[in-house]
Structure 1
Amino acid sequence: IFAWGMLFVLPETLFNWFDVSWNPYACYILYVYFSMVPFYVSTYAIVVLSIDRAYVILKPFASASKGKIYRYGMAMSSWMIGCILAIPYGVFGTYSEEEVYCLHEAPSLVMLYLDLCTIIIIPLMIISVCYIIIIIKLCERKRFEIILNKDSDDDCDIDVKHQATTKAKVRTIKLVCVVFFAYIICWSPITIAAIMIHHNLAQYGLWFVVLYMLAPLNSLVNPLVFLIFNQKMFRHKKKKGFNRTTFDAETQRVTLCS
């Protein structure tokens, strides 16, 4: 959300809505290039998260997935991909000092289908493969658990612990799935609308502006989805904090009375 606000919404608001004069540095660095980076970062963050979930399901006891280097590497990889994919927009940026405007002057058809591939098709394919792997692996484990339970009734504690871990993983997979569908709902309309306008199948109007503003809302939806899926955790922390405060107050009162 912070990246969207600072790199896309702020320049868009200042220069296009409040008519703040452009300068070459703000145009080429802030608007032409960096305003496009959050588009790709928000997309490939979901892709990276899906790859991570698939890796954890395939290798649940791998030590690499539990280290800080792995976690930071996964987070940084989406930013690296975003910075690389935004380079064409930086190359085709145009600034006019006389008319004081800044825009992307790329071959429209090429960039349109490039965006379609990099924002919709490629992420959809990678995420679909990840989920197919996850579903197959979970079904195999479920089948193995049923056979194991038939053969032996021992190790109940281990079985309960394993079920709790599996349930947590399934909840995380559901979360990523909801985030992915939210992404599709936010981004597909504007992509389809841009293709229709380019091929003269529809006319540009207010509806296109509404769809254009719908896409960045995806960065707002993701934290809300996380809060909905993890509300029990926040309730537990709030309750724990409240109990701690009550305990401190009671201790202080007893000390004063003594």
Structure 2
Amino acid sequence: MTTSNYRTIWISDLHIGSTQCQADTLLDFLKHNDSEKLYLVGDIIDFWALSKKMYWPRDHNTIIQKILRKARHGTQIIYIPGNHDENVRDYDDYVFGDIVVKKSDIHTTLTGKRLLVVHGDEYDTIAQHHRWMAKLGSIGYDWLIEINRFLRLCRRIIGVQSHFSLAAYIKFKVKNVVQFMSDYEETLVKTLKNAGVDGVICGHIHHAEIKEIEGFMYVNTGDFVESCTAIVEHHDGRLELVRWQKQENEALTQALETALTKAQ
């Protein structure tokens, strides 16, 4: 399979160290996508999950090794911690294995747009002022993801390859959750619109999007738990939302379709 090369890649909410991390899809993404600069936009290692149960399979270790290898081979990697790995924020401006830790950063695109890169929990009133509610919500979300993993396995067994996320489906059917996401976006934009930047790139709410709000660019990287998304900057400065599916799965599907066509 070919490897895509970008000027910049942003990924967030990997939740390494939890059972929700889609390690195989994430490793496949890292294998087939390179960039001059890579932003890790928070909730990379899930210390909340690790504090409840030690879970660190081999492929999670491989993810860390893969990222460190990219750094050694010249990729500029900036790690911006989130609320699930907030203890890393104590190491602002430290360098670990060629990876720079920053609480936030300003990225300038090739077209000259100045974009603030933050995880985004700083602008979430629940995460900031009602931590017990945030953790309770996280537990409920974890249950949804576990159910979703079972449903995904069943769909693979019966040959359904299209991506489906139960958590995302429920998210957009619950009015209060939809309103929360809308309020979150508006709070970010109102807070940062006069901060001397052209836009913001964040994660946190697990909903990938690129859009303009009142002339201000709002970009959310999504996650590698349910939707497996990333934001990339092409070498002409254009930003794109990428939804990733394992390349091996796509190749297998194409091979099966070709075989069925020939049989007919």
- With normalisation by structure 2, the TM-score equals 0.25
- With normalisation by structure 1, the TM-score equals 0.26
Larger Rg: 1
More strand by share: 2
